[in-house]
Amino acid sequence: MALIVQKYGGAVLSNIAKIRQIADHIADLHASGNQVVVVVSAMGYTTDDLVRLAYSVAREPAKREMDMLLSVGERIAMSLMAMAIEDTGRAKAISFTGSQVGIITDTKHTEARIVEIRTQRLREALDDGRVVVIAGFQGVSLDREITTLGRGGSDTTAVAIAAALGADRCDLVKEVPGIFSGDPTIIPEAIPIPEMDYASVKGLSLGGARILNKYCLEIAQRYGIELRVGSPYKTTLINERTQKPFISVTLSEGFILLRGRHIPNILTPANDFEMAEIDGDKICLCRDSALEAVNTEVDFSAVVEGLSRMTAVGDGVHKICDLVEADEGVVKVYYKSSFYRETRVYFKSKDPVRTLHRVHNILIMEKDENSDGGQ
């Protein structure tokens, strides 16, 4: 008997037919002798709809009230999923909110962090032979306030629950069949990656790819939780270190370069910045939103706008610096940073997507040639 934690994202729960299909799968998994914990996101675009609703009544909704409102989406999904599982006649199910299942967080509304999970009620339900369905994305603070965990919070819930229970498996089920060598919506020839390491997935996510948030990955790495990310039929395995070669690239736009002596005074984590130093001056590459903080008291001597950032992870990705520079559509390359299996390049281009596409195809072709040569 295995203890399995599965998280289902909003896209795969977008209608009742999909919920029934997933409920059948979960019932089969339970009937095979497994203990099953299911974490659910809100259905489809429910969260977006709730955010719009909040801003229709308030110009700046209070964060506490936003948490109260947004937590409703997952509660709807958990109740429907538990009902659908029971309706199969093959499994008993019970739903819990984050607070009911003992997810204790800090007090930061809309971006709370989990500090403890009190698993007694969860374990009792599992020992009673039930499938446990948990509302993702939420918990309760030590001040007894409902909190939410920010973007990707349901993934964080699932991984934290898996760690707290010592689960045998943690599946993060999404519509896409795993992680690819590039975004298939802009690089149709992108190929699926069977296995990656935590650090590389974190690098991709921080680079702009909407895969998993860094807190989810940090929990998985800290507790050695292997993750299977993808559709019910095809996944990417994420673990501490894989020996299988892979390459993946992503693009993020809207960066600027600042040069001056007091630049750090205007930066916040939201500016997504990196720093270097040249001839006593600070060189900063950051989101263009940082310009809003620039005032006459800040000593900066250069501003270059319209930069893009390409992040590449995997084997041999240090080559992207030269590949980007060689692209005839690129005007300048301003900065590059490299460490284990990750390279980032900031560049100015008339068509950054074209540059990404070209670099991706060259890297993949070289990887395939090297793989063939090693056989």
Who has greater pLDDT, 256 or 367?
A: 256
For the segment 296-315, what is each residue's pLDDT rounded down to a tens digit? 445 565 677 888 999 999 88
For the segment 220-238, what is each residue's pLDDT rounded down to a tens digit? 999 999 999 999 889 999 9
Residue written as token pair 């370069």:
257
CA separation, residue 17 to residues 14, 43, 210, 289, 357 (Å): 9, 12, 26, 42, 37
For the segment 135-171, what is each residue's pLDDT rounded down to a tens digit? 999 999 999 999 999 989 999 999 999 999 999 999 9
Calpha distance 180→44 (Å, rounded):
23
For the segment 174-189, what is each residue's pLDDT rounded down to a tens digit? 988 999 999 999 999 9
Could you tell me where the DSSP H helices lie in 5-152? 16-31, 46-57, 63-87, 120-127
How confident is the model at residue 250, as a pLDDT? 94
Question: Domains (ranges, CATH) in the chain?
Answer: 3-175 (3.40.1160.10), 247-373 (3.30.2130.10)
Calpha distance 64→285 (Å, rounded):
33
